Structures are given as structure tokens and as C-alpha cells.
Structure 1
Amino acid sequence: MTHLPHIVADLGLILAVAGLTTLVFKKIRQPVVLGYILAGLLVGPHVTLIPTVVDNEAVSTWSEIGVIFLLFSLGLEFSFKKLVKVGGSASITALVEIILMIVVGYVVGQFLGWSAMDCIFLGAILSMSSTTIIIRAFDEVGAKTKKFASLVFGILIVEDLVAILLMVLLTTIAVSQQFAGGELVRQIVKLVFFLILWFLAGIFFVPTFLKRTTKLLNDETLLIISIGMCLLMVMLAVEVGFSAALGAFIMGSILAETTQAERIEHLVKSVKDLFAAVFFVSVGMMIDPQIIAAYWFPILVVTLVTIFGKFATSAIGALLSGQSLKHAVQAGMSLAQIGEFSFIIASLGVSLKVTSDFLYPIAVAASAFTTFTTPYLIRFSGSFYNFLEKRLPQKWVTSLNRYSSSTQQLSGYSDWKILLRAYTINLVIHSVILIAIIILSRNFLLPFILSTFGHDVGAMSIAVAIILMLMTPFIWALAIRRIQREAYASLWLNRKINRGPLIMLEMVRIIVAVLHVGFLLHIFFSASVAFVIALTAMGLAIVIFRNKLQSFYDRIERRFLYNLNERENLKVAKPEVTPWDAHLADFEVIPESALAGKQLHELGLRELYGINIALIERGKLSIPIPDRHARLFPGDRISVIGTDDQLQRIKGLFEEADGLESESQKTGIGLHNFTVSKSSPLLHKTIRDSGLRAAGLVVGLERNNERILNPDSSMLLEDGDILWVAGNEEKLRQLVDH
């Protein structure tokens, strides 16, 4: 009789039991992740009701592959550009919540008498919320169209990136077994260096490769290539001292910027689901019911700290970022759980053998309890806000709302902010590229040249010349290329104040470029000789080849920017999430909808529901601020402005789009606000006569802390009025500043 390998039998047992448990959990409308964990408990070594897994080591290997594909899929959904677009509010909230929860987790661990390493990992575990559980809960309670949901999704995006950084830092702490500040800083700098380098190289090469092979890429080939790229980046990340999960995440985020991103995500989904199921089953296999019974008090404490601590810290972060009290409370109650990343962080502690055996099952148990409570917390968040508003002193509520409004005012960047930001980005990016060229040349190009031509001066000179030739375009961009010409020219006109600092900025650029060349030449020559040669070589190269360098660098930059924006350029514009109670939500006109085929004035959506249509997307056609004669067709995607209650009332008329928030080209169409001052040309004019209609649609007016949605066009604008207008920001600025 043929012998069946243990790994095949174990995999069959795992998937069979996981299939049954997930059916049960779907029936009772609970996340299937909990079903996988229960399946792991049943097939694990601590429960003997059914046959158990024999080859635990093989299952552990499969679970590591599961983590890789989980992070790869997360990267495909992530996109660094999406992180830039979530805005300061979500970033501030996420960072405040993460920092405070790490501190809270450490203090709670100390209270329970745990070791320092257990306390650190507990803090990291508690700082991560669960994207899967929150999306599922939002679907169940119908909260995806509400204003605070957009804030929560932004926070989750930031948490995903911070979780990757935490894994690197925790690994460093675990290996060194001490809080070595210098080592942590070195690891952070190293991580940032490789993140920038991999992103730049990936965006430059990967989209170009996929575009040129498009005709050859059927589903099978694209799947193999995508997984191959993922595993190659995993190997590269491990080679330079990072985790496999980080490499998978980086490659996913690079592919997320390509035009094939949705197709790759669809193809990888089944593979990810299979291996992710094995990972979560392996989580359940590590749970010992006896440990849970013995540590019931720590589990209770950690669960309560998760619910109340994450609610409080998230709400505090949201308030500090300028959100209203209502949205801060709703966001805080939505984030009060732990999930997938917490499991990964807990498993990291186990694999590094630095955490106690009880920490992992405690984290899983707390996650299970908070998973059940999350839908109820989201559902009752509005009622809890009403309760708080009545109990808190009215002065506090008024102050918080005033702070929220003031932080959301339109504020343009000053010329100095624009220039400094551009110079910083230029300095960091080109320094990373130059250092990478030097390191790669020293490790690969130089040994090849020396082995081919010998170790004499001639061979060394050839190597230096080739490396300098590779570096020259980026040295020119770092030291000479003009950046933000308009802002620079505006500042230069002020002779007394700005010219000195501007000259210093240019000197800093040149000095940094010289240091990079000197760093290269110092490998071959003494420091003083290297400096003189560097200065001379750079000056001659720039003077002689200035035009060619500019042309060559411009081609590189155009290719990079084209690849970076190609996915967006294939999509139509869509308004961004907005900062007031009236906010934007997306719906789709289904073929059988009564709205299809009718003009907007026939539907009377503004009169009946109080909402406004800001944008109609129809294939590649985009209709911003449509007039009353615009007609809706089946398949149209509609961006609607309204309050939570108004959007909820019209929800039945539309079919909601799936997913979080699709990434699209930013064209300035959005909901903006500005204050009417005494010097404003709009003062004492009616909304109808103000000319605002040429730039957008007035959807709200705030006067004496009273908010008026859809104000009458005959209203006179007064000093101090805050207007909310859906339209093009640049046109609004021109109108207001006129």
C-alpha cells in the first residue's frame, strides 16, 4: 500500500475541519477568521476529540507562507500614494493611538507581573486594529457611507504601514535583548533607505516590464510572475536583514501602482485565502485551553483594556487632529478590537523565542471577545455620542466643535513650505540613489573590473570613471536642478529677508553632492585627495555636459512619473473625502433603478432628501458638478454630498460600490471651505450674485456656530460666514482672493 506523506494528510485534515467551522461561523454571521482559529484548536495537540496534526513543523512552514501572501495581498490593497491621500487627520489619529496603546500595553503587562519583553509585545499587539473585522462590521450595520467610516479606513491604512515598522523594531529589540537606542536608530535609517530604494526601483522597472509584456500575460502567466516577484523580494529583504513579511508587503505595494493591480489582486486572492487559512489554523493550534483557563484574569484585563483603551486613545487622536466630538467617538468605538496583524506580531515573538507561552493564547482570546463586541460598539456609537453630549459641559462641546472647524479651514502652503518640502524630497531621494549606486558598484562592479583588468591604477581609474558616470545625472539633479521655480522666484524677490537663506539652501545642496562623490573616491584614495578630485570632477562634468545631463535626467524622471501615475490616468476623477458633517459617498445606478434615464431636476434629490450630486462617472467620462439637466444612466457611479442620515435614506435607491475607497486622479474637485472676511469681494452679496456657481456648488454655510445645509441662494453673505463649496479648489481660491 502506498504511504501517504504526513503533510498531505495534515493539510486535508486542516482544510476539512476549517471548511466545516467556517460554514458554521458564516451561518451565525461571524468572521471566518474565528472559524479558522477554532479549527486549529480542534486539530491541535491540546484537543483530542478528533485526529490531530502530526507534522507540526510542516504546518508551521505553510503558515509562514500564509503570512507572506497575507502581507502581499495587503500591499496590493495598500499603495504608498493612498497613504499620502489619507490626510493628516487619519495619520495623526493613528500615530497617537498606536503610541498611547503601546504605553498602555506595557503598563498593563507590568501590572500583571510580566517580563519586559512580554510587555513590549503586548503593547504592539494592542496597538493594531483589525481591517477584516471592521469592514465586515461596517457591512453588517450599514456604516460604510457614514463620514467617520472614511476616517477609520484612513487610520487602518496608516496602521498597516506602522505595523511593518513595528515588526522590524521588535525583531531588533528581541535579537539584541536590550533597548539600544543607537541600534534602533540604525535600523530605522536602514529601513527607510531600503523602502525608498525599493519603491523607486520598483516603480521605474516593474510597470514598464508589465506593460511591454502585456500581450503575453494571460491569467496563468501573470499569476506566476506576480508570485515570483513577491518571493524574489522576500529573498532580497531577508538577505539585507529584514523579515520575509516586509519583502512581500513592499512588492505588493509596488504592484499596487501598476495598471495590472486589480487583475493581480483577483488572481492572487484564491492563493492568499488558502495559505491564510492555514496560518490562522496554525494560530488556533497554539492555543492551550488549560492556559486560557489558568489565565482568565489577564484575558479579562487585556480584553477590557483593548475595548476601553483603544476607544479612548483613538478618540483623543481624532480630536487632536481636528475631528468633531461625534466623529471621534464613532471612530474610537469602531477601532476597539485587535486582529490579523496582532496575530502576526504575537507569532513573531514565539518564533524569536522571546515571549512567554501564555501571551499568544491571551492575545487570540482577547481578539475573539472583541470581534463579537465590535458590531455592537459601532451600532451604538451614535447613541453614546448623544449621551456624552448631554452629560459634558456645553462649554466643552462648543470649544471642541470650534476647534474642529478652525482646523478644517482652507490654508494654502506658504512659498517657504513648498520650497523646503521639495528640497527635502529631492535631497532624500537622490541621496538614496547615489548611496545605492556606490554600494552596488563597490560590491559587484568593482570586483568584476579588478578581476578582469588586475589590481593596478588603470583598473581602479576605469572603475571610478564608470561609477562617476552612473552617478553624474543624479548629482546634477541633487545639486543644480531647479526645483519649484515659481515659489523660488517669489521668495527671491524679497532681497532683504529671503536671499540669504536661499543661497544657503543652494550651498547645502552642492556640499551634500560633493560629499557623495567624496565618499565614493575615499574608497580608493585618501580623504583630502578624494575631496579635491570630487569637487573638480563634479564641476567639469556639470559645466561640460549640463544640457545632456538635464535631457537624460528628464527622460528618467518622465518614465518614473508616467509609471507612477499610469494607473490613475486610466481612471476618471473622483472627489476626495470631505471634512464636514456633509460628506461624500459613492453609489452606483443599478440597471433596474427608478433613477436610470431621468434628469436630475426630474428626480428632485436635493428637494426630497437634501443631498447634492457632486460628480457623475460614466466609463471614462467624468461630469463634475452636473447641472439640473444631466441624465443618469445604468452603471453610472455617483458621488453624493449629504449628512449620514441623508445618505442612509437614499441608500436604497443606489447600489453601493464594493471595497474601501478606490484610488483615482486628484483634480481638485472636492468639498472645500473658506471664511468670508471684511475684505472679501463676496461680503454682503447673495449666494446667487457671488459668482460661486462658476466655481462650484454651495452646499453649506456656518454662521454663529449654526450649520445650514443647502442654504437658500438669496441669503446675504456676512462677515465671519464659513462657506462650504463643492468644486475646484483652484477656481475657488481665484474667486475668493480676487
Structure 2
Amino acid sequence: RFLNSETLLIVSMGLCLGMAVFSVACGVSLALGAFVMGSILAGTSFAERIERITVPVKDLFGSVFFISVGMMVNPTIIADYWMPIFILSGVVIVGMIFFGTFGMLLTGQSLRVAIESGFSLTQIGEFAFIIASLGMGLGVLDAQIYPIVVAVSVVTTFTTPYFIRMAPPAARWVESHLPQKLHFLIDRYSESATAEQSVVKELWRSLLKRYLWRVVLYSMVLIAMCIITQRYLIPFALGVFPNWGRLLGTVVALFLMTPFLMALTYPASKNTERKRLRECNAKFDVPLIIMTVVRLLIAMMIIVYLLSSVYSMAVGWTLGVLLFIALLMSYSKTVKARLSKIETRFIDNLNERELRRSGAKNSLVPNMHLAYMTVGYDCPFVGEQLKNSGLRSRYGVSVSSIQRGNNMIMVPAAEARVFPGDILGVIGSDEEIQALLPVVEADNDTEAPPAVDNVRLTSVRLREDSPMVGKTVVTSRLRETYEALLVAVQRSDCYIQADAVTVFAPGDVLWMVCDVDRVKDI
């Protein structure tokens, strides 16, 4: 928040390029590192500001990328390899229609929605170029494959709009020719898949989601710490302490990894959830035990991997198992409470932007939260005074502040107006804030509106039978009826600045600013 736009742009691009270089050093894709850093920056509270200042850079490099891709389309290669290009294009189109439709049916969508979704996926995008470039760089793809991939992408991109247009007729044809029994099974499966789940299923879904999120998140953090230890920490420690550097680096790494190892091994379920599951199902312990064993094995394998990479396999397994047993012995209420607070803060930092927007973690009193939401251009009370906005009477919330650029209006008066881009500090319950968010942030899009090409200065010559002849500027109702602005009236070689009582005569040329498509109506 203390950086100006130029410095923030340099820092953001530096972080992006730095993560890309770091990902290559770790042996993974260059694009993956840039994507990861973009995801990290997108989760901050200042994502909109970063996005606004980096859009010109994105547009510049995007243009260069697509122009370079277009220059790689070699007509000679297309003519020489028209058969593979034709076959691959057909495989992409047919395969995407089939697998897209089948996948949507499995998720419980209706037959019409599934077919229309499958028909809209009949192309390969620019990411295929990245995969093809990586394949050529690794020597697993022939250099001739790349222009073929580009040609297939161009062909399928041009055909996709036609397949999207064909989707509704194709859906109607399939529905009319599909056997009744199969039609009944699809509809029944769709209804059952989209029906409201029971309380137990919802509880299991929430528990599994939290479990997977914890395992993936902390495993990634721990693996990254292992890689940093191998590549940087151990060599640095050996350079400073040749005799004790390996041991010192390992101890420091394990010390830093301990909070994440404990968070990974502790249960993802709460006492109330286990009690609820015990009431509903006596065998609920089996999946929970399996989930616990998997987490413990992952934690132990990470410890063994780190120690084995630093020392040897025997030392790694011996010390790894001993350290893991010591880790299990730390299951005390005090340690659990402390680690729970650390984990909560860690997750809250990751979700800072969404929490600030919804006010979920900003409780003033029980069930009353302070949220900050940005006013969109389609918000229904844009330009209205607060007393006329209906925020209190209709939504039950109160506005505590309005941030407009660098100006902060604390406890705004009832006469204060709301404008697009304002950040409203809103106090209300969870239900009230969630109901208000889509209303306030309606069409919160910073893209520039499309240019108006048809509105320009044009002229109309009045014939004898024109309905405008004999009328004045007022009675002709050019502005109200035709949305036209009269600039001047050309009579012979003279230009008249028409006033309200000027009468139009045959042969007059009306110079107006209007939509040229409506000139024929005039």
C-alpha cells in the first residue's frame, strides 16, 4: 500500500518473472511459476490495483504472442500436411463434443445443457502451443509438429462458432431420436444428482473438502521447503560451517517445517462434526481413520525424504521414524490450540481478499460483521443519496464509511451519494451481507465499453414530400424521435444556425449528429 504505481508495476512483474525463473530452477514449467505468482497476487486485497497497472503490459505481450503465433502458420506446411491437419481437427472436434457432453452428463446436467457445452468446446487454445514448444524443447516432438498444432488450432477456432450455432438443433435432434428408456435414465440421474443432498452427505462433503485442501496445501509448502533446503540452505550452511553445516541446516529446516507437519497430521474434523456423524452412522470412524493414516504417512515420507536427501537412506528412515514418533507425542491440548490459531491465521491470510469483501472474520458483535465492497457500474442505487438507496430499509445494513479514491468519508451523512468505484464499509449480518454483495458489485467490470462507430456527423436533403417540410426544429422532434442533434441547416450556399422557430423548407440540407442507420427514417 506504500508503493506508487511505477514501483508496484516493477515489483509485481519482478515477482512474476522471479517465480518463473525459480520454477525452472526447480525443474518445472516456466509458465507454471508465472501462473502461481499471478494466483498469489490475485488473492491479495490490492489485486484490482495490480491488475489495473499491469493490463497494458499484458496487452502488449499478448499482442506479440498472438502475432508471433500467426507468423508461424506456414501455408506451405498446411498444403503439405493437409491430411494430418484435417484428421487431427476432426479428432479434436469429435472428441471434445463426446467427452464434453459425457462429462457434463456425469455431473448431473440435463441432456440439452450437456450437448450445448460439448459443442462449445470444439477447439484447442493457445496453451497447446506452450505444450508443443515444451515437447520440442525436450526433444520428444518433431519440429514439424508445431506448425501442424498451430494450424489445427486456427482451423478449430474458426469452426467453433458454427458448432456453437449448431448446438441447439443437435440437442433437439438427439432428444427426439433418443430411446425413451435412455431418456428417462438421463433425466432421473440429472434430477438425483442436482437434488438437495442430505445433512450427512453435506457434512461429509465439507469434511472431505477441508481434508483435501489441508493435505494439498501443507504438502506443497513442505515439499517446497525440502527443495529450498537441498538447493540453498544446506550449501549455504556448508559454506559457513564446513564441519557442522549439514547438521545445522537440517535442524533449521526441520524446525521451520514443524508447524506445517503438525498442521498436516492433526485431524481435519471438529468434535461437533464427529459427534454428528456418530449419531447418523456407527461406521463413520473407518473413513476418518483412513484419512488420518494417509496424512500421517505423507508427513513421515516428507521427513524421510528430507533426511535421505541430506544424508543416506538408512539415516533418513531411522531418524525420520524417530522424529515422526516424537511428533505424534506432541498431541497435547495446548499444542493443538496454539497450532489451531496459527493455522487459522495462515488460512485467513490466504483468503484475505474474500474475507475483507464479505466481512466473515471481522465481527463487531455476534452475527454482525463489517465488510468492504466495491460499487459496480450497474448497482441500482448508483448516484442516489444514502437515505434514498434503501440500504437500511430494504437490506437491513448500515454504511459506516465510503472510500472514494484517496478520500475516506467516515460515518457518511444521509445526503452522501454513492458512485461507481466507491468502497462501502457495510455493517450487517452474514445473510444480509451475502444478499447485498451481488447487488452492490453488479457488473463490477473495468473493461472499456465498445466504441460507437455508427454515430457521426451526417446530412439529409429534404425533398418536397418530406414529412419535415413546414415543421420547426421543435415540432420536428428530431431529438426525441430520432435521437439526432441538429448542428446546422444548409440553405443554398448558406449555413443557418437553426433556432427553435426555424422552419424547414424543401431543398434544405440538415446537418446532424446521429446514428447513420436511422437516417433513412428521417
Give TM class, smaller chain. 0.5 to 0.7
Find out whether 1:291 has 2:77 as its counterpart.
yes
CA contact (8 A) 2:108 2:191 kept: yes
Find out whether 1:405 has 2:206 as its counterpart.
no
| Identity fraction in percent | 39
Aligned to 1:227: 13
How far is 1:417 from its partner?
Answer: 5.7
Aligned to 2:38: 252
Q: Which of 523, 526, 534 is matched with 2:323 structurally?
A: 534
TM-score (norm 1): 0.45
How far is 1:225 from its partner?
Answer: 1.0
Find out whether 1:267 has 2:53 as its counterpart.
yes
Quick one: which amino acid aligns to residue 489 of structure 1? K
Aligned to 2:343: 557
Counterpart Cα distance in 2 of 1:549 and 1:333: 51
Aligned to 1:455: 243
Counterpart Cα distance in 1 of 2:123 and 2:255: 54
How far is 1:538 from its partner?
Answer: 3.8
Q: Which of 82, 93, 108 is matched with 1:307 structurally?
A: 93
**Backbone CA RMSD of aligned residues:** 4.4
Instruction: Flag structure 1 segments of 5+ consecutive residues without an equivalent.
Output: 1-213, 574-585, 600-617, 639-655, 661-738
Counterpart Cα distance in 1 of 2:208 and 2:76: 59
Quick one: which amino acid aligns to residue 534 of structure 1? L
Q: Deviations over 1:62-82 (max 9, x none)?
A: xxxxxxxxxxxxxxxxxxxxx
Q: Which of 80, 101, 104 is matched with 1:318 structurally?
A: 104
- Count of residue correspondences: 386
What are the equivalent positions in structure 2 for 1:599-618 lying under 5 Å apart?
none
CA contact (8 A) 1:521 1:534 kept: no
Counterpart Cα distance in 1 of 2:301 and 2:21: 32
Quick one: which amino acid aligns to residue 388 of structure 1? V
Counterpart Cα distance in 1 of 2:93 and 2:281: 57
Return closer, same or farther for 1:455/1:485 CA change in 2, 3 Å cut-off: same
Find out whether 1:237 has 2:27 as its counterpart.
no
Larger RCO (CA within 8 A; separation ≥ 6): 1
Q: Deviations over 1:532-559 (max 9, x none)?
A: 752675467666xx636742x3453233
How far is 1:375 from its partner?
Answer: 2.8
CA contact (8 A) 1:438 1:520 kept: yes
Instruction: Flag structure 2 segments of 5+ consecutive residues without an equivalent.
Output: 360-375, 391-421, 448-522
Counterpart Cα distance in 1 of 2:130 and 2:297: 44
How far is 1:340 from its partner?
Answer: 1.8
Q: Which of 363, 370, 376 is matched with 2:162 structurally?
A: 376
Flag the structure with higher helix content: 1
Counterpart Cα distance in 2 of 1:293 and 1:324: 42
Counterpart Cα distance in 2 of 1:361 and 1:467: 47
Counterpart Cα distance in 2 of 1:532 and 1:351: 41
TM-score (norm 2): 0.61
Counterpart Cα distance in 1 of 2:293 and 2:72: 59
Aligned to 2:122: 336
How far is 1:233 from its partner?
Answer: 0.6
Q: Which of 475, 491, 510 is matched with 2:261 structurally?
A: 475
Find out whether 1:279 has 2:65 as its counterpart.
yes
Find out whether 1:588 has 2:374 as its counterpart.
no
Aligned to 1:217: 3
CA contact (8 A) 1:518 1:534 kept: no
Find out whether 1:485 has 2:271 as its counterpart.
yes
Aligned to 2:179: 393
Q: Deviations over 1:488-519 (max 9, x none)?
A: 23456799745677667656655665565565
Aligned to 1:547: 334
Counterpart Cα distance in 1 of 2:134 and 2:317: 47
Find out whether 1:360 has 2:182 as its counterpart.
no
Return closer, same or farther for 1:302/1:511 CA change in 2, 3 Å cut-off: closer
Aligned to 1:643: none
Bigger mean CA deviation after superposition, 294-303 or 348-357: 348-357
Quick one: which amino acid aligns to residue 381 of structure 1? A
What are the equivalent positions in structure 2 for 1:11-410 lying under 5 Å apart?
214=1, 216-352=2-138, 354-410=140-196
Quick one: which amino acid aligns to residue 185 of structure 2? S
Q: Deviations over 1:98-128 (max 9, x none)?
A: xxxxxxxxxxxxxxxxxxxxxxxxxxxxxxx
Bigger mean CA deviation after superposition, 512-521 or 465-474: 512-521
Return closer, same or farther for 1:252/1:496 CA change in 2, 3 Å cut-off: closer
Counterpart Cα distance in 2 of 1:625 and 1:466: 46
Quick one: which amino acid aligns to residue 455 of structure 1? N
Q: Deviations over 1:270-319 (max 9, x none)?
A: 21222222222222322322222233333333334433432233112212
3-state SS of the aligned residue for 2:228?
helix
